[in-house]
Each structure stands twice: as C-alpha cells, then as structure tokens.
Chains A and B, each alone.
Chain A
Amino acid sequence: MTNPSEKQVVCYWPDGYWITDPEEAELLDSVNAFGTEHRQLEVFPDDDVQKAVNAELMS
C-alpha cells in the first residue's frame, strides 16, 4: 500500500509524456528515445499527474 503522505517520483519529457519508473526513464534517455532528456517531479499519490506535469512545463 502506498502511503498517501509519501510523494512519488514522476519522470516527464517536454512533450508532456510521463512515466513513474526512473530507471526506465534513464534507459530511454540513454538511447535518446524521446528526443530530449526527462526531468523529475515529485507528486502526491492523489495528485493528477498529468496536470502537475503540464503545470511544471508551463512554469
């Protein structure tokens, strides 16, 4: 069970696509899968991840 108070890491790319596995994101970046490198963002489990990513990209 995920603790609601614990944040989880989200790896996202500038086009808004995101995943939750940092190792997979590293692997994808290592072959330039999505053209750019990912960035990381911490969100609460209840957060709308896509909204959070979009907000981060807009800021």
Chain B
Amino acid sequence: MDISTAYKQHQQIITLQNDLAEVLKEIWVTEWAYRLAFVATFVVYFVFVWMMYVSDLWGFTSWLVDNLSEIAALIIYTVLAVTLPLSMAMIKEIGYKHFAKYRNNWAVVGLIVFILAFAGVVYESISSSSQQQHISTSAAEKSKTFEVITNTKTGTIQTGSMASLIAEAQKQLARCEEKLKDGREPHCKGDAAKLQGYLDAEQRAMDSAERASVAAIEVKTKALQELKEDSYKPAFKAIRDSFGVTISTGVMLVTTFISVIFEISHLLLILFLSQKLRRKDWLTQSIINMEAAYLNSTGKAFRPEDFTDDSVLNMDDVREQSPSPMGFGMPATAQFKYQQAQQLMQPVGFIRTDQLNKPAVSPTQKTTVAKLGTAETQLEMPGLSEPAIREKRDELSTWNQELSGHGIDSPADKSLDKVEDKTTIQCIINKGLQAGEALHATLSKPSAEGDEIITNESGQQTISKPSADGQRMGLYDQWVQAVTEKECKPSVRPTWEWIQKRISNKETGSRTHDRTRISTMQKAFFNRAIHDGLMKKNSKYKNGGKKFIWIGATT
C-alpha cells in the first residue's frame, strides 16, 4: 500500500464530495426556479386563455352573476381554461428540462425552443397589455376630471319664439285663404312667403344646433380619451411619443419586450441546469473512480474519517471489506465467481504455506467462515501523512524485501517493490502471520452460526448451512424454511429483500449483485416453489392484492 498515494486519493475524494454537495445544492435551487417559472407560466397562460374564452378576470364576478344560467358553457370553458394553460405550461416545463438533461440536435432544440418561447411571448404580451389597459382605464375613470367631463351637457338650444312666430304665420295664412274664397282678398302670397321664411329660419337654426352638439361630443370624447391615455404608465407614453405610434402599440411593444425578457430568463435555466447536471455526473463518476482507486491502494473502502489525526487505518476492516484482502489468505465473506476470479489474480499471502497442512482437494471442501474480527487479530496502523513518511525516510524498505526476510513467497507484483515504512511493513507481516496461524487453527471447526463455505470442483465458494437432518441447505431451502417459520413473507418484495440481505450484506466488491440479478433469483425461487407445490399463482389477483399464494405448510 502506498500511503502517500492513498492520502492524495483520500483528499481528492473529499474535495470531489464537497464539490458534489455544492453542485447538488445549486441544482436544488435551480429546480426551484423551474418550479416558480412553471407556476408563473401557468398563471400567464391561464389569464390569456380565460380572457380569450371566458371573460376578463376583472369584473368576472359580476359577469358570472349575469351568466350563471349558462351552466354547460360555463363548465366547458372552465375546464378548457384550466386544462389548456396547464398542459401548455407543463409541456414547456418538460421541454426545457428535457433539453437540459438530454443532448439533442441543435436545430431541433432551436426550433422547439423558439416555438415554445414565441408562444409564451404572445400569450404574455396579450395578457399583460390587457391588464395594462384595465389599470389605466380604471385609473382614468376614477379621476375627478373624468367625472366632470362626463357630466358636461351637450344639447341643442330650443328656440321657443320661432315656434310661436311660425304658428302665428300659419294662422294668418289660414285666415287669408278663407277670405280669398269669399273674394275679399286678391291673394295670400304675402302670408305664404312669411310662413316659409319662418320655416326656413327654423331649419337653419336646427342645423346649426346639431353641428354644435356634434362638435361638443367630439371634444368631450377626445378629452376623455386623452385623459385615459394620460393614465398609462410613463414607459408606454414614452414609446408612443418616441415612435409616433398609438398608446395601444406602445403598450404592446413594452409588454412584448418584458415577455421576451421573461422567456430569455426561463430559457437560461436550460443552460444553467444542463451545465450543473453535467458537472454532477462528472463528479459522481470521478468519485466512483477515485473510490475504486482508493480501494485498490488501501484495500479498504473509503471513509471520510480516514487520515484524520485521531483515527487509524483498521487493517481488520481492510481484510473484511476488501475483495482481495492483503495478508489473510481467506475471505471473511461469501464471494461470487467474479470476485473469486479477481482474488485468484491477486494472491498476496501471509500464511506460511510450508506450515500449513494442505488439505486434499475434494469436490466439496469445507472451510468454516472465518471470524477474524477479534482483538487478537485486529491490526491497527497509524494513518501516516506525507510529512511522517519523510521523517522515516531512513527506515524504509520494500514489501518484497521484508516478505523474503520472513520466508514468505511473494507474487511478482511491482507494487511490492514500492518503498514503504519498514517498521510498518514488519508490523503488518507479523500480524498477518499471527492471523494466518489463527485461521489455520480454526479450519474445519464449525462456526457458532453453523454457516459454511463450500468450495466445489471449480473452486467456487458458496454459503451453506446444515439442516436439521444433517444435509446442506441451499439458499432456496433456507428461504422456504424462513417462509415456513414466518420469518419471510412469500411475496415479491420481502423475498427480494431477504435474498439481498443474505447475499449482499457483507459484500464490498465493486461488482455487487444488482437489483435485476436479485429479482431474477426471487423469480427463480417462486418458480421453484410453484414447481415444488409450495406456492401457486393467485388466479383472482387484482392490483394491490397478492400475486402468489403460499400453499405450503407454515408453523
């Protein structure tokens, strides 16, 4: 073991883990920004859709009172007004998160993002401009000036004297015509002309009054309009005055600009989250690689408290956790084929082979599970830092030299030529020898729990436990027994966990059984139980019910 390398790896893992924790926190904040943006998007879309299909939100209550009888339309448009903006906001949210996580063709990303963002800009600008109109109109209508202008009367001036003159002229003309019939008057042209004159004068007066009234209404309307425009925010009026457009155009330009800013901010979340996720993946992978390297260097799993001032590298832990433990010759846990293959490739032994009685290889060589985690065999080594190594430079040696000195065959491994602290090496070798001798003494003795490691013809080692009648029980038989004794429920999840606990609780190798493999075992157990008549499929199975029924005996 190269302590300085291990120390560097330990510090790098700590740094990477801190960095990862920071990135995870950043991602958490970014996710919250996504959620808030989603809510904001939904509300904006909702206002737009509600306004388009139902009614303006302002004054909605009075509108509702007037339209309560239209139940069908109300229900349909309410459902539409909720589902449409919700689905559109969700699609936008999903799309933006999707592009943050998955790489896509830039053209595709650009097109989809443009469509989503464009829709957002349109909806937001329409909603916000309508809201602006409502705000300014309300402000104008509440002003005193508006009230005064509204109450100004504009009407025609009635000319009562002209009416009486016309009536008098009509009366005179009627008398004249009576006299004309009796021959007392030669003609009535004078009275007729007088009446016509009065009528013409009245018509002219009426025309004049109407024109004056129209002009007054126009002035009043214009005054009200100007008052309303004056109630808009200065930003809108500035755009109107700067570009010579109407106030409505000014409002649209400003609200569109604001909507674009919101959309760009929303879009930036894609970039931010994307980079953070990439960083998180890289850090996670780096930590895995670094921890694997640390495992190789030290023979033990990484722990943050390693290399601290008051901690020690517990070599007993090293032996129990490492798939290729240095110096103890026998794995403390059951191992699978791939782990055994790794172990065979890296045999670093501390047991004097010349002092061991080599047992004959039988098809089922038994070795008791080694319980080596005792005080006698526990080896503690101070966590050496680089300065400490420098101090002991004059007391250095190599593993090969020291192993040879103890008459122990060492494999042709270059790592054993590395220079290490001589005292430490000797200490480890001595402890290893003691442990090896202790292990040898315990060979073939049954353990307290009775678990055994079975070595078969192919050198494979598996766990086995003797049954009451002396026969070895496989894992399946143990499971059946557990179910029979009600220690494990005969359903998928408990069985899955039972198997995992049995085969994985002591594993520390880099290739532990994954969930799929355990699921395969669980299914195989069920198939076997069905075959053995211990279990049957539930023909009345429904969601949430039991898929399988145990028909075997239970205690």
To the question of whether A and B form a pair in one complex, the answer is yes
List the interface of chain A (C-beta within 8 A of B). Answer: 17, 19, 24, 26-37
Which chain A residues lie closer than 8 Å to B525 at the CB level?
33
Which chain A residues lie closer than 8 Å to B462 at the CB level?
29-32
Distance between Cα atoms of A30 and B337 in the complex (Å)? 7
B295 close to A (CB within 8 Å): no
A-B contact pairs, 18 of them (CB 8 A): A17-B531, A24-B520, A26-B337, A27-B517, A28-B521, A28-B524, A29-B460, A29-B462, A30-B337, A31-B475, A32-B463, A33-B476, A33-B525, A34-B474, A34-B477, A35-B471, A35-B477, A36-B474
Are A35 and B473 in touch, CB under 8 angstroms? yes
Distance between Cα atoms of A13 and B454 in the complex (Å)? 17
B392 close to A (CB within 8 Å): no
Are B464 and A32 in touch, CB under 8 angstroms? yes
B456 close to A (CB within 8 Å): yes
| Nearest opposing residue in chain B for A34, CB measure | B474
Give the distance to chain B from A47, nearest Cβ to Cβ, in Å.
18
List the interface of chain B (C-beta within 8 A of A). Answer: 336-337, 454, 456-458, 460, 462-464, 471-477, 499, 502-503, 517, 520-521, 524-525, 527-528, 531-532
Which chain A residues lie closer than 8 Å to B472 at the CB level?
35
Are A24 and B524 in touch, CB under 8 angstroms? yes
Which chain B residues lie closer than 8 Å to A31 at the CB level?
336, 462-463, 475, 499, 502-503, 521
Distance between Cα atoms of A34 and B531 in the complex (Å)? 14
Distance between Cα atoms of A36 and B458 in the complex (Å)? 12
Which chain B residues lie closer than 8 Å to A34 at the CB level?
474, 476-477, 528
Which chain A residues lie closer than 8 Å to B524 at the CB level?
19, 24, 27-28, 33
Distance between Cα atoms of A27 and B477 in the complex (Å)? 16
Distance between Cα atoms of A3 and B391 in the complex (Å)? 74
In-complex Cβ contact of B336 among A19, A30, A33 (8 A): A30
Distance between Cα atoms of A32 and B461 in the complex (Å)? 9
Query: Given A30-B460, A37-B460, 8 more contacts at CB 8 Å?
Result: A17-B528, A19-B524, A27-B524, A31-B502, A32-B454, A33-B474, A35-B472, A35-B477
Most chain A CB inside 10 Å of its own CB: which residue of B464, B524, B525, B532: B524
User: With contacts A24-B520, A27-B517 known, is A32 near B528, CB below 8 A?
Assistant: no
Distance between Cα atoms of A19 and B499 in the complex (Å)? 20
Distance between Cα atoms of A31 and B518 in the complex (Å)? 10
Are A32 and B336 in touch, CB under 8 angstroms? no
Distance between Cα atoms of A36 and B363 in the complex (Å)? 11
A-B contact count (CB 8 A): 57
Distance between Cα atoms of A53 and B204 in the complex (Å)? 124
Which chain A residues lie closer than 8 Å to B458 at the CB level?
37
Which chain B residues lie closer than 8 Å to A36 at the CB level?
474
| Nearest opposing residue in chain B for A30, CB measure | B336
Are A27 and B520 in touch, CB under 8 angstroms? yes
Which chain A residues lie closer than 8 Å to B528 at the CB level?
17, 34
Which chain A residues lie closer than 8 Å to B477 at the CB level?
34-35
| Nearest opposing residue in chain A for B502, CB measure | A31
Distance between Cα atoms of A56 and B499 in the complex (Å)? 31
Closest 7 CB pairs of A and B: A32-B462, A35-B474, A34-B474, A33-B475, A33-B476, A30-B336, A31-B503
| Nearest opposing residue in chain A for B474, CB measure | A35
Which chain A residues lie closer than 8 Å to B532 at the CB level?
17
| Nearest opposing residue in chain A for B499, CB measure | A31
Distance between Cα atoms of A37 and B457 in the complex (Å)? 10
User: With contacts A17-B531, A28-B521 known, is A37 near B464, CB below 8 A?
Assistant: no
Distance between Cα atoms of A17 and B471 in the complex (Å)? 18
Most chain B CB inside 10 Å of its own CB: which residue of A27, A28, A31, A36: A31
Distance between Cα atoms of A19 and B460 in the complex (Å)? 21
Distance between Cα atoms of A52 and B525 in the complex (Å)? 23
Are A33 and B464 in touch, CB under 8 angstroms? no
Distance between Cα atoms of A31 and B520 in the complex (Å)? 12
Distance between Cα atoms of A24 and B477 in the complex (Å)? 17
Give the distance to chain A from B518, nearest Cβ to Cβ, in Å.
9
| Nearest opposing residue in chain A for B336, CB measure | A30
Which chain A residues lie closer than 8 Å to B471 at the CB level?
35
Which chain A residues lie closer than 8 Å to B475 at the CB level?
31-33
Which chain A residues lie closer than 8 Å to B503 at the CB level?
31
Which chain A residues lie closer than 8 Å to B476 at the CB level?
28, 33-35
| Nearest opposing residue in chain A for B458, CB measure | A37
Distance between Cα atoms of A56 and B457 in the complex (Å)? 20
Most chain B CB inside 10 Å of its own CB: which residue of A26, A27, A33, A37: A33
Distance between Cα atoms of A6 and B61 in the complex (Å)? 79
Distance between Cα atoms of A17 and B476 in the complex (Å)? 12
Which chain B residues lie closer than 8 Å to A27 at the CB level?
517, 520-521, 524
Distance between Cα atoms of A28 and B458 in the complex (Å)? 15
Which chain A residues lie closer than 8 Å to B531 at the CB level?
17
| Nearest opposing residue in chain B for A13, CB measure | B474
Distance between Cα atoms of A33 and B499 in the complex (Å)? 10
| Nearest opposing residue in chain B for A18, CB measure | B531
